[in-house]
């Protein structure tokens, strides 16, 4: 008799999802799915609004990465007002980059310290009362204090540029609305209530040392858990280096062969298409040339390091080389190495923030450029969780007639489903009792992608995740819910 297991809700991810495991009549796992059951329809209701509202409206998709949506939309709207990235003023470009790195820094800090660290520090079988950041704070005080201040640093950068830590406004069509001042510059370069950029670099290095030593002790688990071959997608510079703000799209397959060769933003529709499944509101993007089953890619920190030939900042570059050497330069398909990759990105962001804080352009007053209006704009950016695509079309009055958003977590949809299937087959298969630790392993696999399900479905409301087991007749035989 086939049985089905459902995890509903899945915890410590952003959003509301549900996992179901289908068992055959021998109790073996037949299949497993990660369902996203939120729906919002953001792409539809933004239609009819004037183009200049898009960067403000779309950031309401999310309370964790609003800056990424704000900037991706802004890049698209720049094109609608006839301003290409290279035509933005240096001040606008630098401040948008500073904002972007602040956002990724704080989001990665949130994920590592608040969401992932309980699994790493206490183990996946720890009692659920322990698997949270408060337990981390109580038993690892110094680590927790650093995590809090690292997130605060990124949030304060955001606040300085946008006026608010969440849902502020910085970018305007063709530029940015305010410049930085010397007091703000000094604040982030010196020790205050918020540590300096220099301290952030030091602490980022310390955290990478922690994860490397953790890897030495737990490599058997980290090198195998929820690992599987896949494609990887991310932005790179013209010379193939790691890039987060403005680059070309590159994809590779699980062996490192290039499957998307440094494509310009404007061309994404030529190469990508989104599939749908009846059991999820979240779409499944893939490369047309490879098809639905071969053309999907992971995105995010692990993918970005995989597709890049080099890292532009010196300290992150050293860590990048160590990371690459771990797999002898081959593509890294180890899902749990995402945490290591994420921390290397934090170091990169800290280095870039320090560099930008010393750049006199951030104090400039040339904020805004104008061009000749166009009917369409595409903005692609590397958000904390991966490649984020915003695409708008407007009519002659400047009203939005079409909006297409492919967010990072959507790119990772198939990857998360593969991770869930891996855990179902390796951990849950033929188990008479499903323990709390087993359930948590399903979540750990999903959590490695740091998914933001509210962004992916453009959803709202309460965001718990949930696991159910069904037999082959569709009868629910076991269910766990957490809130």
Partner 1 sequence: MNEAGIKAVEKILVAGKIQNDTRTLVLGIGNNGRSDDGLGWAFLDELEASGIFNGKMEYRYQLGIEDAELISHFDQVVIVDAYADSLERGAAWQPCKPEDNFSFTTHEVPPGVILHLCHDLYGKTPQVDCLLIAGKDWGLKIGLSEDACQNLDRAFGLFKERLVYQLNE
The footprint of partner 1 (CB under 8 A) covers 11-12, 14, 60, 63-64, 110, 114-115, 132-134, 137-138, 141, 144-145, 148-149, 151-152, 155, 164, 166, 193, 462-464, 482-483
CB of 219 to partner 1, least distance (A): 29
CB of 113 to partner 1, least distance (A): 9
H/E stretch holding 273 reads strand 272-275
Taking the least distance from each CB to partner 1, the nearer of 86 and 193 is: 193
Q: Is 68 helix (H, G, I), strand (E, B) or coil?
A: helix
CB 251 within 8 A of CB 387: no
Spell out the residues 6+ positions from residue 472 whose beta carbon is closer than 8 angstroms to its own.
1, 2, 3, 22, 23, 24, 25, 30
Distance of CA 355 to the CA centre of its chain: 24
CB of 60 to partner 1, least distance (A): 7
CB of 58 to partner 1, least distance (A): 14
H/E stretch holding 203 reads helix 197-222
Which is nearest to 388 in space by CA: 290, 277, 268?
268
CB of 376 to partner 1, least distance (A): 29
Return d(Cα 95, Cα 270) in angstroms, integer. Answer: 31
CB of 116 to partner 1, least distance (A): 12
Spell out the residues 6+ positions from residue 279 whose beta carbon is closer than 8 angstroms to its own.
33, 35
CB 142 within 8 A of CB 149: no
CB of 144 to partner 1, least distance (A): 6
CB of 291 to partner 1, least distance (A): 36
Return d(Cα 447, Cα 442) in angstroms, integer. Answer: 9
Taking the least distance from each CB to partner 1, the nearer of 149 and 290 is: 149
Taking the least distance from each CB to partner 1, the nearer of 265 and 440 is: 440
CB 170 within 8 A of CB 162: yes
CB 258 within 8 A of CB 194: no
Return d(Cα 213, Cα 319) in angstroms, integer. Answer: 13
Return d(Cα 291, Cα 300) in angstroms, integer. Answer: 21
Spell out the residues 6+ positions from residue 41 whose beta carbon is closer than 8 angstroms to its own.
458
Taking the least distance from each CB to partner 1, the nearer of 44 and 270 is: 44
Taking the least distance from each CB to partner 1, the nearer of 113 and 284 is: 113
Return d(Cα 27, Cα 30) in angstroms, integer. Answer: 9
**Which string of b and e fits 200-210 if b means at least 16 CB within 10 Å?**
bbebbbebbeb
* Helical pair 197-222 and 314-326, crossing angle rounded to 10 deg: 0
Taking the least distance from each CB to partner 1, the nearer of 380 and 442 is: 442
Return d(Cα 120, Cα 313) in angstroms, integer. Answer: 28
CB of 133 to partner 1, least distance (A): 6
Query: Which residue, chain included where needed, has tokens 């809700």?
Result: 9
Both structure tokens of 88: 């933005």
CB of 103 to partner 1, least distance (A): 15
CB 217 within 8 A of CB 205: no
Taking the least distance from each CB to partner 1, the nearer of 42 and 268 is: 42
Taking the least distance from each CB to partner 1, the nearer of 91 and 454 is: 454
Give strand ranges (E) for 296-385.
Answer: 297-298, 376-383
**Cross-strand bridge partners of residue 36:** 17
Both structure tokens of 117: 């660290």
CB of 70 to partner 1, least distance (A): 16
Taking the least distance from each CB to partner 1, the nearer of 23 and 65 is: 65
CB of 137 to partner 1, least distance (A): 6
């Amino acid at each position: 008799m086939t049985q089905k297991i459902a995890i509903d809700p899945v915890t410590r991810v952003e959003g509301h999802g549900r996992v179901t495991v289908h068992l055959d009549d021998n109790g073996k796992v037949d299949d497993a799915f990660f369902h996203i059951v939120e729906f919002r329809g953001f792409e539809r209701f933004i239609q009819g609004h004037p183009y200049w509202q898009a960067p403000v409206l779309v950031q309401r998709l999310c309370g964790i990465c609003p800056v990424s949506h704000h900037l991706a939309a802004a890049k698209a709207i720049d094109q609608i007002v006839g301003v290409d990235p290279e035509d933005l003023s240096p001040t606008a470009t630098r401040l948008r980059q500073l904002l972007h790195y602040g956002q990724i820094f704080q989001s990665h800090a949130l994920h590592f310290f608040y969401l992932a660290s309980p699994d790493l520090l206490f183990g996946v079988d720890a009692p659920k009362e322990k698997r949270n950041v408060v337990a981390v704070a109580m038993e690892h005080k110094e680590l927790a204090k650093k995590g809090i201040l690292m997130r605060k640093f990124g949030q304060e950068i955001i606040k300085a540029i946008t006026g608010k830590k969440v849902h502020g406004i910085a970018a305007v069509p063709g530029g940015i609305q305010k410049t930085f001042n010397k007091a703000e510059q000094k604040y982030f370069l010196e020790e205050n209530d918020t540590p300096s950029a220099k301290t952030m670099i030091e602490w980022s290095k310390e955290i990478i040392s922690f994860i490397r030593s953790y890897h030495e002790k737990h490599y058997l688990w980290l090198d195998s858990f929820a690992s599987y071959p896949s494609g990887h997608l991310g932005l790179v510079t013209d010379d193939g280096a790691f890039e987060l703000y403005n680059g070309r799209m590159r994809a590779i397959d699980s062996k490192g062969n290039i499957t998307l060769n440094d494509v310009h933003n404007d061309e994404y529709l030529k190469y990508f298409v989104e599939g749908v499944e009846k059991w999820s509101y979240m779409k499944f993007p893939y490369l047309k040339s490879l098809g639905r089953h071969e053309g999907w890619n992971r995105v995010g920190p692990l993918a970005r390091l995989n597709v890049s030939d080099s890292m532009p900042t010196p300290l992150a570059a050293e860590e990048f080389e160590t990371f690459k050497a771990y797999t002898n330069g081959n593509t890294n398909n180890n899902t749990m190495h995402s945490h290591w990759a994420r921390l290397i990105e934090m170091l990169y962001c800290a280095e870039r923030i320090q560099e930008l804080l010393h750049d006199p352009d951030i104090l400039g007053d040339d904020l805004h450029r104008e061009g000749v209006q166009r009917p369409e704009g595409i903005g692609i950016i590397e958000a904390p969780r991966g490649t984020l695509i915003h695409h708008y079309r407007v009519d002659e009055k400047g009203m939005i007639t079409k909006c297409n958003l492919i967010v990072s977590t959507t790119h990772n949809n198939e990857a998360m489903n593969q991770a869930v299937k891996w855990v179902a087959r390796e951990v849950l298969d033929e188990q008479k009792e499903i323990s709390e630790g087993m359930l948590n392993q399903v979540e750990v696999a999903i959590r490695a992608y740091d998914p933001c399900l509210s962004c992916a479905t453009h959803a709202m409301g309460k965001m718990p995740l949930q696991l159910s087991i069904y037999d082959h007749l569709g009868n629910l035989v076991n269910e766990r819910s957490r809130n």
